[in-house]
Amino acid sequence: MHASPHPRPPRRRKLLAALAVLLVLLALGAWAVMWRPAIDPQPRAPQFDAALVERGANVAMLGSCAACHTVDLNRPFAGGRPLATPFGTIYSTNITPDVRTGIGAWSEAAFTRALREGVARDGRLLYPAFPYDHYTRMAQDDIRALYAYFMTRPSLDAPAHPNELHFPMNFRPLVGFWNILYLDRSPWRPDPAQGAEWNRGAYLADAVAHCSACHSPRTRLGGEERKRFLDGGEAEGWYAPALNARSPSPLPWSRAHLAEYLRTGIATDHAMAGGPMQSVVDNLRLADARDVDAMATYMHSFLALAPARDTPAQRVAALPAPVPVPMRMPAPREGDPDLARMRLGHEVYAASCARCHDLGRTPTSGSALPLQKAVALYDPDPRSLIRIVRDGIEPPDGEPARWMPAFAGILTDEQTVALAAYLRRYGAAQPAWNTLEDDVRKAKQP
């Protein structure tokens, strides 16, 4: 018997060859996921029709673009605002038409790609703190109008602040894999079972205002949990309450009250907007009131699913202001198992809060909402209440509005914890929060 003139390669050589091919294919696949080409800079600034710019201004207000892209009101859209995320801090960028540091060199095609795919003009992938996973469903006419609006803003020189992200999220190309998991580029479609106003509100709330970006929980990789739509989320260290059947609101929302809240930041028998929601309201009050009403119609269709609850707020709501003494926040019971803390919380309340909150709130009063009605007392975690106590609520610069002072420099951590625990038990009659000490400590961190 003779050996074959073409012996088969050894098994090991075959395996190595297959592995090499696999690695090459994986490398090509990763390159395809993580790389995008640059789009040539536009040679000259385009001109726009005034009506298109006006439409773009409305889209910008509905999308609250200034909330993230403006730090100094004298330098609108120049970026630089830090956005805290679980992966580190991202700084918003300059979206004025400055050619060197803004989007002045961006064509409409480049601007559209950024909104639909999360890719900058130079091919860099944008971090999804910029909610392109919502903007991807915007109508092209709205994107064109938004582009016209930004390209006609004052040009401001404002270089990008370096992001401060943890490894490996500081390796920007990895965002390409995030896009595979969470970027659904399907176009927005109306629901034929709903009316025109509801569908208009649905489009605006999802594709433009991106409400669920804050009000839905997120996965460990930072993507929205679509199966838990509007189940409650977080924004910049605040709890963003659920806006569906799981709403913690102690009083039901009417559609009219929700529209009033979105336009003004305050509504009868509901707490005023605080934290990141203040910036949203600051923008919505400048938007077309019909569009804001449409958003209220859509969002209320989810809030209306919340079941009626017997809460202390229901009993206080039935009373005219000022709140009668028997309904004011009570002293702790002698048999309270956490009596020392509750007494301290009550003392803090009596010294710092009662003067305004015990009077109740009317449209023309300078007093405040009875805290039994404050949704922050009913939230599943205390972050929003702690931040309201520490940071207060201030109206925009130069705007006359209700406000609440900050107590960060007045109350100790122990007093803040005791006040929150007392309000939770005696204001909302809800089970104790178990993470108060940690949450107060975290709220002090920059």
Task: Tell me: is residue 215 an annotated ligand-binding position.
Answer: yes
Structure tokens at 93: 């960028």
**Distance (Å) of CA 89 to CA 135, 188, 279, 364:** 22, 30, 19, 41
Is 65 among the annotated ligand-binding positions?
A: yes
> What distance in Å separates the CA atoms of residue 375 and residue 242, rounded to the nearest whole number?
11
What string of DSSP letters covers 96-140? SS-TTTSSTT--HHHHHHHHHH-B-TTSPBPPTTS-HHHHTTS-H
To the question of whether residue 69 is assigned a binding role by annotation, the answer is yes
Residue 134 marked ligand-binding: no
Q: Name the β-bridge partners of 267.
A: 270
Which of 356, 406, 416, 357 shows the shortest CA–CA distance to 386? 416
Asked if 113 and 132 count as a contact pair (C-beta separation under 8 A), the reply is no
Query: Is 356 annotated in some ligand binding site?
Result: yes
Is 211 a known ligand-binding residue? yes
Instruction: Name residue, tokens 């909402």.
Output: 369
Q: Which residues contact 343 (CB under 8 A, 6 or more apart)?
A: 331, 332
Name the residue type at position 372. Q
Q: Is 68 annotated as a binding residue?
A: yes
In 3D, which of 304, 301, 323 has the Cα closest to residue 313? 323
Would you state the structure tokens that stand for residue 4, as one six-digit string?
A: 């074959």
- Distance separating alpha carbons of residues 433 and 424, to the nearest angstrom: 8
Residues 246, 144: Cα–Cα separation, whole Å? 37
Binding site for heme c, by residue number, is: 65, 68-69, 211, 214-215, 353, 356-357
Binding site, by residue number, is: 65, 68-69, 211, 214-215, 353, 356-357
